[in-house]
Amino acid sequence: MSESPALPVTLDRGSPTPLAVQLAEELRAAAGDGRLRSGDRLPSTRALAVQLNVSRTVTAAAYEQLHAEGWITGKHGSGTYVTTAPPGSPSARPKAKATESADVAAVDLRPGSPWASGIDRSAWRRAWRGAADVAPLPRPTRAGVPAYRAAVAEHLLRHRGLRVGGEYDRGEGESVLATAGTTAAVAELAASVLCRGDVVAVEEPGYQRAVQTMRAAGLVVVPVPVDADGLLLDAVPAGARAVYCSPAHQYPLGRRMSAARRVELVDRARRDGWLVIEDDYDGELRYDVAPLPLLASLAPDVVVHLGTTSKILTPALGVGWMVAPPPVIAAVLHHRDITGTSPSAAGQFVVVELARNGDLGRHLRKLRRELSERRGMLVDALTAAGVRFLGDDAGAHLVVPLCSAGQEHELIEAATGRGIVLDGLARHHCGPATWFGIAVGYAACSREQLQAAIPDLLSLLSRSSDQWGTPSG
């Protein structure tokens, strides 16, 4: 086992930037410039918390963010390591244009990251100060902070049209649980509600982190194709115990599940005994289209609804929510009791303060306006260039389909050479890839970066115009 290196970390407790964000930035910079090398073993979150004299919540949130970005990886039973080629490291950093300085930052157009720079810093500082004024909890809250669960219930009603009940101040009739995020919630469901060997149908292509989480729990994951209306229900295998889907903005194709397919899905779930896991990915973001009913509102008896603050605020908070039928709630709470686990309260208190001050609602309105304008810029440019795309009516990314893995790889490599980081569709499959193309995100970069990158992107796509078509998926 390799020895953990001395970490080059300095935290400024007088800075308005949260300690978890500072820690993630320090480790990211160290991995990027070579002070941390690929394969270096990092201390455990507990050991690092002791070393830095911070709470374990801080180190856990920083590690979670770096893991989500691909800088670090965990090896079962042996710890956490710097990845072999961290994004932004000398071995992975995209080359700048020959006419530009070599230190020009790459434009990140990959989906999945939020518009974190758009969070009002005054509101952010106010929320953290308010969270810090809360008296320390004498014991963990297994269901989550009551005020947080009440804030989530209000958020779901106002922004997602989902009415949920429960006396959160007394813990009665709970229907909303705090989680550490969508992937953590999937892991809890796999450990508490499902059993090893259970068959789970997932979208293909789909969210591979959830897939790997299910497989790690001993579930049998069966990929099911999607079409323009969503998951192909006739392809769900007989005996399936659960179905995992992202109907609001299917990841990564970006399509919305049609109203008719939603009704058909919940009807089949009741008939065949499926538990439907609704990942509300990008659910708060839609453009020029009418809202569609959440699966949880259509069938609260068979649907587990999962949401997160990762895309509307920042994944560094490490908080999400689960709305589920009473038996599922009871099973998850029992699992937390016997394992002694519960979601961190720190991020929950921050969300409570943002909601209490009205800052969360203001940020969501600002976020929708900004992303709608960015989406318009990208859509107008692609349309004018005659480029075929899909998935633009919701979320924070769209997809340009291509016809082969080779074409996808060549386009991504060429974009890297121009300082543009793109994501491909092929890697989002459980089995052999049937969809190829690029997923273009427009939230993580600045507006100016997006404007500057669009001409280069169109130039690259123009080379492939004779190969556009409908993939086999």
468 pLDDT more than 80 = no
Provide the 10 A C-beta neighbour count for residue 432: 9
pLDDT category of residue 6 using cuts at 50, 70 and 90 = low
- How many percent of the chain have pLDDT more than 90? 63
86 pLDDT more than 50 = no
- Cα–Cα distance measured from residue 51 to residue 72, given in angstroms and rounded to the nearest whole number: 19
Q: What is the pLDDT of residue 297?
A: 94
Pairing of strands 275-279, 303-308: parallel
- Cα–Cα distance measured from residue 430 to residue 432, given in angstroms and rounded to the nearest whole number: 7
H or E, element range at 308 = strand 303-308
167 pLDDT more than 60 = no
Q: What is the pLDDT of residue 93?
A: 42
- Cα–Cα distance measured from residue 320 to residue 427, given in angstroms and rounded to the nearest whole number: 26
Give the CA count within 13 Å in the CB-facing half-sphere of 23: 26
Highest mean pLDDT (candidates 156-160, 189-193, 292-296) = 189-193
Strands (E), 72-180: 72-75, 79-82, 107-108, 176-179
203 pLDDT more than 70 = yes
pLDDT in tens, 104-138: 468 999 998 899 999 999 999 999 999 999 988 88
pLDDT category of residue 282 using cuts at 50, 70 and 90 = confident
Contact status, residue 401 vs residue 446, Cβ threshold 8 Å: no
pLDDT in tens, 402-420: 989 899 999 999 999 999 9
pLDDT in tens, 294-332: 999 999 999 999 999 999 999 989 999 999 999 999 999
88 pLDDT more than 70 = no
Q: What's the token pair of residue 162?
A: 């989902």
Q: Which of 351, 289, 279, 266 is nearest to 316 (CA)?
A: 351
Strands (E), 142-252: 176-179, 199-204, 220-227, 230-231, 242-245
Question: At 246, is the secondary structure helix, strand, or coil?
Answer: coil
- 353 against 282, higher pLDDT: 353
User: Which residues lie closer than 8 Å to 469 by C-beta, 6 or more apart?
Assistant: 401, 403
- Cα–Cα distance measured from residue 472 to residue 450, given in angstroms and rounded to the nearest whole number: 30
DSSP bridge pairs for 402: 436
The single-letter code of the amino acid at 155 is H
Q: What is the pLDDT of residue 101?
A: 36
- 290 against 333, higher pLDDT: 333
Averaged over 163-184, what is the pLDDT?
75
- All domains of the chain in start order, with CATH: 19-82 (1.10.10.10), 107-112+361-463 (3.90.1150.10), 121-358 (3.40.640.10)
- 31 against 173, higher pLDDT: 31
187 pLDDT more than 70 = yes
Angle at 398 between CA 395 and CA 399, to 5 degrees: 145
Q: What is the pLDDT of residue 289?
A: 74
- 414 against 29, higher pLDDT: 414
Q: What is the pLDDT of residue 471?
A: 44
78 pLDDT more than 80 = no
